[in-house]
């Protein structure tokens, strides 16, 4: 308000100075001055208010702009803040997804991995070479303990189809076997010594040996006495057979000879030992180093008897121990332990987890006890049998005619147990 008064006073002074040139009375001049000042004051006020109003409007516009900009920018600022976690979530999840992807091959390893192939991509034979016996252990070419784990054919006269490259390859890749056993019966059903075609049977044996060798597997040639009880019954045939086989395979380092499967019927260890002392030199004349497995009394159970009177004069001799878990229990493991304590090298060239007939229920608990015993002692083992026969010890279901590429539904419960036992 002071500024308005000063401006009005200046205007009045100017007008009064001009008015003094007229000879008006003082009173009249004072009245005129008052009216002029009021008039000027009103005009100045009107001008001032108008001008100030314009300035105030301008100030509001200026002050609102940043307010609006802040308001406008706030959502913009908040949007990325809100989106950042959303953007980060997939980023956080990607490693999780990748970890799952990375883990998938690990999960598939028991299926795609070939346990028989070592880290260098070698077959069992390529990796371990010629085997030998050191004390009670089977060892590889480096002198390291090596455990053979595999499967046996049934009698090759009954089920010749499984003596094949495809079957052995399936067993190597799906089960992880490193050995197969070729069981040639001597007396039963068209056996080698009971009317069977000798040349056809030998051809089957040779086909099996060749297939196993091509796959880098070890192979057992089994002279499968059973109902002929005493190995002396067909000793001359055995000598001729092993002379021919050892001559044929003298340069093979993966062959194991089992010279009498299961002596029985009261056959003594003395009888078995005398038979072995006639057959072993025949094999040694051709192959000085091959592993030779000798059967023991009572269907290859009385290994303790053999341990008190071992075969001497030859290296790389092992002794057969056979069991069927539902029948043979701790008492037979005790016999085996005695034999080991006495320095015998044992080889379980035949076993299953049903009863001794090859049929009946499976005893899983006893089977696991046996497996622990074998693994703790480094004893090699071969499961019975490769067939689709209608019995518990057959590995394949009766309704499947495949010889390889089996899925789980086509395997018996025993076969699945054996597969898991080998992979352990």
Is 200 one of the catalytic residues?
Answer: no
105-144: b (≥16 Cβ within 10 Å) or e: eeeeeeeeeebbbeeeeebbbebbebbbbeebbbbbeeee
Q: How many other C-beta atoms are found inside a 10 Å radius of the C-beta of residue 365?
A: 12
Residue tagged active-site, from 188, 258, 350, 366: 350
SS3 string of the chain? CHHHHHHHHHHHHHHHHHHCCCCCCHHHHHHHHHHHHHHHHHHHHHHHHHHHHHHHHHHHHHHHHHHHHHHHHHHHHHHHHHHHHHHHHHHHHHHHHHHHHHHHHHHHHHHHCCCCCCCCCCCHHHHHCCCEEECCEEECCCCCECCCEEEEECCCCCCHHHCCHHHHHHHHHHHCCCEEEEEEECCCCCCCCCCCCHHHHHHHHHHHHHHHHHCCCEEEEEEECCCCCCHHHHHHHHHHHHHHHHHHCCCCCCEEEECCCCCCCCCCHHHHHHHHHHHHHHHHHHCCCCEEEECCHHHHCCHHHHHCCCCCCCCCEEEEEEEECCCCCHHHHHHHHHHHHCCCCEEEEEEECCCCCCCCCCCHHHHHHHHHHHHHHCCEEEEEEECCCCCCCCCECCCCCCCCCCCHHHECHHHHHHHHHHHC
What pLDDT shows up at residue 120? Answer: 63
Which parts of the chain have pLDDT scores under 50?
Answer: 1-119
180 forms bridges with which residues in the sheet? 151, 219
Counting every residue, how long is the chain? 424
What pLDDT shows up at residue 189? Answer: 87
pTM of the model: 0.73
Is 262 one of the catalytic residues?
Answer: yes
CA 58: distance to chain centroid? Answer: 80
What pLDDT shows up at residue 348? Answer: 98
- Rounded alpha-carbon distances, angstroms, from residue 205 to 89, 198, 253, 298, 317: 64, 10, 16, 26, 22
- Rounded alpha-carbon distances, angstroms, from residue 30 to 2, 87, 311, 353, 385: 22, 84, 159, 140, 143
What pLDDT shows up at residue 57? Answer: 35
Residue tagged active-site, from 69, 262, 391, 410: 262
What pLDDT shows up at residue 424? Answer: 81
């Amino acid at each position: 308000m002071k500024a308005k008064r000063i401006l009005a006073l200046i205007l009045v002074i100017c007008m009064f100075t001009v008015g003094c040139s007229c000879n008006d009375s003082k009173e009249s001049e004072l009245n005129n001055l008052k009216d002029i000042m009021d008039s000027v004051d009103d005009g100045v006020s009107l001008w001032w208010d108008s001008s100030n109003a314009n300035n105030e409007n301008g100030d509001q516009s200026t002050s609102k702009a940043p307010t609006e900009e802040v308001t406008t920018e706030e959502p913009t600022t908040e949007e990325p803040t809100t989106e950042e976690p959303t953007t980060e979530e997939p980023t956080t999840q990607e490693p999780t997804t990748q970890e799952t992807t990375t883990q998938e091959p690990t999960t598939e390893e028991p299926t795609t991995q070939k346990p028989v192939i070592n880290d260098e991509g070698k077959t069992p034979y390529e990796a371990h070479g010629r085997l030998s016996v050191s004390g009670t252990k089977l060892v590889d070419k480096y002198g390291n303990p090596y455990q053979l784990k595999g499967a046996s054919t049934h009698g090759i006269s009954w089920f010749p189809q499984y003596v094949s490259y495809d079957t052995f390859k399936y067993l190597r890749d799906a089960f992880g076997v490193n050995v197969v056993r070729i069981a040639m019966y001597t007396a039963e059903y068209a056996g080698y010594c009971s009317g069977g075609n000798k040349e056809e049977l030998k051809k089957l044996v040779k086909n099996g040996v060749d297939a196993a060798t091509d796959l880098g597997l070890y192979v057992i040639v089994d002279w499968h006495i059973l109902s002929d009880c005493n190995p002396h019954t067909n000793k001359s045939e055995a000598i001729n057979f092993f002379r021919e086989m050892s001559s044929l395979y003298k340069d093979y380092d993966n062959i194991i000879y089992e010279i009498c499967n299961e002596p029985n019927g009261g056959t003594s260890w003395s009888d078995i030992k005398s038979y072995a002392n006639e057959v072993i030199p025949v094999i040694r004349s051709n192959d000085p180093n091959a592993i030779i497995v000798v059967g023991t009394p009572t269907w290859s159970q009385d290994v303790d008897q053999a341990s008190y009177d071992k075969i001497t004069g030859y290296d790389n001799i092992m002794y057969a121990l056979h069991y069927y878990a539902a029948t043979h229990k701790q008492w037979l493991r005790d016999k085996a332990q005695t034999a080991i304590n006495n320095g015998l090298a044992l080889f379980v060239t035949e076993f299953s987890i049903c009863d001794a007939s090859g049929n009946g229920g499976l005893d899983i608990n006893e089977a696991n006890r046996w497996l622990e015993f074998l693994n703790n002692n480094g004893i090699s083992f071969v499961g019975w049998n490769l067939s689709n026969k209608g019995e518990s010890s057959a590995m394949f279901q009766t309704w499947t005619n495949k010889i390889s590429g089996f899925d789980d539904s086509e395997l018996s419960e025993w076969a699945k147990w054996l597969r898991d036992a080998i992979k352990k």
